[in-house]
Amino acid sequence: MLYERRHTRLIREYSGIGRSVPNLATFLVIMSLASIGLPGLSGFVGEFMCLLGAYNREPLWGILAVPGVVIAAVYMLSLVRRVVFGQLDPESAKMLDLSPRETLILVAILVFVVWMGVYPKTFLDFTNSVSEILHTMIR
């Protein structure tokens, strides 16, 4: 949605969008927090299970994976700081906030992000059955 407004994917081209498009910026912050694995959001379950699985299989690999999670979080938080809370640039000031259609789409995605983070069993039951089928095929 940012791309559609500015037609660029370069992070350096965005700054201070929290002032010009507050609703879009709010969703960007929430999805970024989900991406870095904030508890209660979808990314936490995935990261936790990957780290725990790696640690259970080979503790060294599990420990070596932790800095990657930290580096990703630092990158994502610095991106949010710059893009959302930075100095408002003239091009970002011209952007329009979310339309009702875009808001509906982002709310629908947010429902699943929170659902996966709060009650992942719904999704894990499905993936477990698929994993069991694949596991029996590999043997």
**What is the per-residue pLDDT for 32?**
96
Angle at 131 between CA 127 and CA 133, to 5 degrees: 120
CB-based burial, 32-50: b 16+ in 10 Å, e otherwise: bbbbbbbeebbbbbebeee
Domain that holds residue 12: 2-138
Judge whether 126 and 43 are in contact, CB under 8 Å. Answer: no
Summarised one tens digit per residue, pLDDT across range 64-110 is: 999 999 999 999 999 999 999 999 989 889 999 999 999 999 999 99
Summarised one tens digit per residue, pLDDT across range 11-42 is: 888 999 999 999 999 999 999 999 999 999 99
DSSP class of residue 89 equals: P
What total number of domains does the chain contain? 1
> From the CB of residue 134, how many other CB atoms can be counted at a distance below 10 Å?
9
